[in-house]
Amino acid sequence: MALPLSESHPMSATLRFFESGLQVGALLFMGVVYVVRLVWLFRFRSRRERTFPAGHEGAGVGYSLMNVAMPWAMESTRKRPWLYAQFVVFHLGVAAAIAATFIIPYRPTLFAVKPVALAFQAVMAAAFLVGVLRLVRRLREPTLRLVSSADDYLSLALMIVFFAAGVLAVPNRFRTAEWTLLLFFGLTAFFLIYVPFSKICHYLYYPLTRYYLGRTMGHRGVLPPRRQAGGPRPSADAAEARPR
Amino acid sequence: MRRKNSVPSGIVDAPLETGSQRAAVEVRIPSVLDGRLRTYDRGADNVGAFLRLLGERMTRDLAVSMTGCVHCGLCAESCHYFLSRPDDPTMTPVYKADQIRRIFKRHLDWTGRIAPWWGHAGSPGNDEDLNRLKNIVFGACSACRRCTLNCPMGVDTGLLVRFARGLLTEIGIVPEGVFNVSRDEWETGNQMAVAEEEYLDTLQWMTEELRTEMGTPDVEIPVDRPDCNVLYTINPREVKFDPRSIANAAKVFHVAGEKWTLPKWGWDQTNFGLFSGDDRLGAYVARNVYEAAERLRARRIVISECGHGYRSTRWEGYNWAGLDQKLPTESVVVTLLRYLEEGRIRVDPTRNAEPVTFHDSCNIARSGDLLEEPRRVLGRVCAEFREMDPNRRENFCCTGGGGLLSMAEYRPLRLEAAKVKADQLRATGAKLVCTMCHNCIDGLNDVIKHYRLDMRVVQVLDLVSNALVVPDVHADAGH
């Protein structure tokens, strides 16, 4: 595939291959594995709901899918805003890094605008720090240590390295620091091949788990939560009643 | 399958074989003989059977919950077991679900088949491994689904636990209490083995009590009356231990002028198939109720106050039985609310003067749809209501859910895990905790007794009946 770069850029053939041909090949591989994975999942039979609805399945699915953007909706995120903030930063970093893999080879002029490059670097640097915090948490918390597999550790470690490589690659200094780009695009290609077999492909499952949960809970009127109208007005709340 | 680690674990080491199963085989009870009720056979290939069933019964919603977990650990603090044993990581939902997930990965997920060591995929090696899984899914989880609604990925751990229970039930690796109750339900059509004579005698006794109390011979508890508006279905616990709740319902139906009946067969709305994961048992029990309604040409099925009974009869039973729902099927609390809102019954809230709090049953609040209805009723029949914190969908389990009340071997762990519930109850300062679930009554009573709380448990119907203003029967004869 021809790159939309001017011939005045003295890019090495290796880097050219890393930025384009390798990525396309890896991306195709990932796409094929994802299709196989989805076919495998959809071969399991689906249940049929036979009851009268108490709510709306579509509303339940919508609410369930949007849950990711509603930290107040779940106690687990509401009570730990710090962890939710980490989640947001980490995934913004993922988005920035993925975007960079397309911007560098196909719209390099964008990163020539310094504030844009700096913004991408800042997001990925923050995600790098969050990644380190997440790794520390995974190593320190007994629960996470107990359930974590080699894949959990490697996926996180790779993401941390990927963010760092992204920070270095965004300035796109292929004349003076080609290795940063080779590292970034080499990691990207590895990710594209590795991700379908790792926990990182959870984004493929997220819509499915959320869809099925939302469909069931929507049908039953559990999700979205109904407004708390018409109930008794508590005559004393728990805090007031607590023995002193 | 067991992983080598030195973490503290409260998972109970209950034995594999039980006396009840041996006795059932020896006396050749029909449900065992015809294969409806499975018993453990030491000589059989139980691991092979378990793995075969795993493949056969896997559904898409289960499969996505098997693959979707990212091991973030956010579910941990939604679980009352972990909150009460915070130093025990084996009490977390993610760990418990992972014991099922590992087997799925090893045998059904091709990534786990290729490199099992990479993602903690594993296989049960022998019956003892399956027994440990039993002690996790039956003994350390009430399947309350609190973790499900707190999972950022939407992984339905409650569903996975019930699924694993169902596979184990199919090879007879179940707690003794689960076997006993399932046996009773298969053999007698109700989970407490109430004989028809005992059932009818109790109804007669309650009818006489009511007539004396209300001073009228008109009040009755009809059985098998056709063409009624309401087919009322109850919990066998009401017949055995709390017949007054049947009388309370009869009193309200009488005052509301309702045309109602209990069926002679198919009156048990509870369903141990929900707890054991046995869809065939679930279908059998639920079908009894639906067929009773059809036989008597009832216009509506009303379910007495029972969390798992409501979930089973209203939501799961039709699916288990493969029957499309034809009749409105509702909780008696909804019926009560309708009577109140339509003015068919009148109440005096000052008769319930003590402060009341409400405990949401997991099966109703998280797996069903009734959050505001009981509160709207309580708002009319109580003088002082105090909300529990947390409440509604976020309420904690009474700790007796998931059939745990029938599993004596897990009682110490259950009561230890009940600390969260005890703290929650104590903080309300209420004297009465109201719940719309017979299972929760026993669960909460255990908590109250164990943690020495100064409160008692009541049901919505108790409070409505107590507050009920009974009109002059002669003046209202034409109602």
pLDDT per residue over A22-57, tens digit each? 999 999 999 999 999 999 999 999 999 999 999 999
**A62 in contact with B, Cβ within 8 Å:** no
**B208 in contact with A, Cβ within 8 Å:** no
Q: What length does chain A have? A: 244
**A69 in contact with B, Cβ within 8 Å:** no
d(Cα B174, Cα B38) in Å, to the nearest integer? 10
Question: Is the pLDDT confidence value at B402 over 50?
Answer: yes
Beta bridge partners of B358: B434
Phi and psi, residue B60, nearest 5°: -65, -40
Are A228 and B59 within 8 A, CB to CB? Answer: no
Q: Which of A41, A229, A238 sits opposite B64 (nearest CB)?
A: A41
Predicted pLDDT of residue A175: 85
Question: Is the pLDDT confidence value at B227 over 90?
Answer: yes
Q: Which of B7, B70, B368 sits opposite A220 (nearest CB)?
A: B368
Contacts of B149 in chain A (CB under 8 A): 74
pTM, 2 dp: 0.93
CB B301 within 8 A of CB B327: yes
Q: Which residue of A has its CA nearest to B321?
A: A50
Contacts of A42 in chain B (CB under 8 A): 60
Contacts of B392 in chain A (CB under 8 A): 225, 228
Q: Which of residues 333-392 of B touch A (CB under 8 A)?
A: 355, 365-369, 371-372, 375-376, 378-379, 382-390, 392
Q: Which of B7, B67, B390 sits opposite A142 (nearest CB)?
A: B7
Question: Is the pLDDT confidence value at B13 over 60?
Answer: yes
Are B120 and A47 within 8 A, CB to CB? Answer: no
Three-state helix/strand/coil letters over A97-132: HHHHHHHHHHCHHHHHCHHHHHHHHHHHHHHHHHHH
CB B312 within 8 A of CB B274: yes
Contacts of B150 in chain A (CB under 8 A): 74-76
pLDDT mean over A138-165: 96
| B127-137 helix and B93-107 helix, angle to the nearest 10 degrees | 140
Half-sphere exposure of A74 (CA within 13 A, CB side): 28
Question: Is the pLDDT confidence value at A109 over 60?
Answer: yes
Reading the block at residue A23, the tokens are 């990525």
d(Cα B129, Cα B125) in Å, to the nearest integer? 6
| Torsional class of B40: left (φ above 0), alpha (ψ -120 to 50), beta (otherwise) | beta
pLDDT tens for each residue of B260-278: 999 999 999 999 999 999 9
Q: Which of A146, A199, A222 sits opposite B393 (nearest CB)?
A: A222
pLDDT tens for each residue of B77-117: 999 999 999 999 999 999 999 999 999 999 999 888 888 98
d(Cα B319, Cα A50) in Å, to the nearest integer? 6
Q: Which of A41, A55, A152 sits opposite B60 (nearest CB)?
A: A41
Are B117 and A77 within 8 A, CB to CB? Answer: no
Interface test with B, best of A50, A82, A147 (most B CBs within 10 A): A147
Contacts of A234 in chain B (CB under 8 A): 385-387
> Which has the closest alpha carbon to A97: A153, A152, A159?
A159
Phi and psi, residue B305, nearest 5°: -70, 105
Higher pLDDT, residue A221 or B2: A221
Contacts of A45 in chain B (CB under 8 A): 59-60
Question: Is the pLDDT confidence value at A230 over 80?
Answer: no
Which helix (H) or strand (E) segment holds residue A59: the answer is helix A57-66
Peptide bond into A224 cis (omega under 30): yes
Are B319 and A222 within 8 A, CB to CB? Answer: no
Question: Is the pLDDT confidence value at A83 over 50?
Answer: yes
Predicted pLDDT of residue A9: 56
Predicted pLDDT of residue B6: 66
Outline where B324-367 has alpha helix (H): 332-342, 362-365
Are B73 and A143 within 8 A, CB to CB? Answer: yes
Are A209 and B154 within 8 A, CB to CB? Answer: yes
d(Cα B221, Cα B262) in Å, to the nearest integer? 8
pLDDT mean over A82-98: 97
